[in-house]
Amino acid sequence: MEVINLGESNSILNRFVAELRDVTIQTDSLRFRRNIERIGEIMAYEISKRFAYEVKDISSPLGIAPMSIPQDQVVISTILRAGLPYHQGFLSYLDNAQNAFVSAYRKYKDRLNFDIHIEYIASPRISDKTLIITDPMLATGSSMELAYEALLTKGTPAHIHVASIIASKQAVDLLTKRMPDNTTIWLAAIDPELDDHSYIVPGLGDAGDLAYGEKE
């Protein structure tokens, strides 16, 4: 198990995360979605460095060029709905990947307590493939854990990459205990705590609402 926090290094990634958090910029939902997508592109690039590669001879108009080409069979999975622009960022770079979608939502028992429910899954077979599970926010980590368990009905992957933007320390601790050893967790920021509603603090608010509008 490995946890990689890309936000610990200075890069343009940190600007995009800062804009996601900024209340003066969050009112522009188009920019909010685009910044999530950009972070997905950066994450996809970083994760691709871990793939297996094979050198192949590529014919150009003027000769043969030996090129290292990734060999992993990749499945990109996202947790609806805030994960959609994030998923698109990954797919823009990993354009030959297969795709999976899982719905996971909080069903509140009262104002502060809730259960996580999975109602929908659409996925190809994932056996022996590289599975990337994307979700912009990891608050408690429970949605990610249940989404992975639902995806296991489609087979057992060779390696799992959990890719998020902002995670609470609590979520990171949970997933490092519950996910398999062949898991790599990729993050852009780790925040210290959750509030009484299990929202990440300082976080950025409700990513789904900011991306697509408030829900009832």
148-174, pLDDT tens digit by residue?
Answer: 999 999 999 999 999 999 999 999 999
Residue 167, in any domain of the structure: yes
Q: How many domains does the chain have?
A: 1
Residue 87, in any domain of the structure: yes
CATH number at residue 151: 3.40.50.2020
**What pLDDT shows up at residue 120?**
83
What is the pTM assigned to this prediction? 0.92
Residue 118, in any domain of the structure: yes
Q: 214: pLDDT confidence band, cut at 50, 70 and 90?
A: confident
Q: Tell me: the pLDDT tens digits for 192-208?
A: 999 988 899 999 999 99
Query: Which domain, by its residues, includes 174?
Result: 2-51+70-212
Residue 76, in any domain of the structure: yes
The Cα angle at residue 165 between residues 162 and 166, in degrees rounded to 5? 105
Residue 101, in any domain of the structure: yes
Residue 156, in any domain of the structure: yes
Better-predicted residue by pLDDT, 116 or 150:
150
Residue 65, in any domain of the structure: no
Q: 115: pLDDT confidence band, cut at 50, 70 and 90?
A: low
Q: 51: pLDDT confidence band, cut at 50, 70 and 90?
A: very high
Q: Tell me: the pLDDT tens digits for 54-63?
A: 999 999 999 9
Residue 56, in any domain of the structure: no
Q: Tell me: the pLDDT tens digits for 65-84?
A: 999 999 999 999 998 888 99
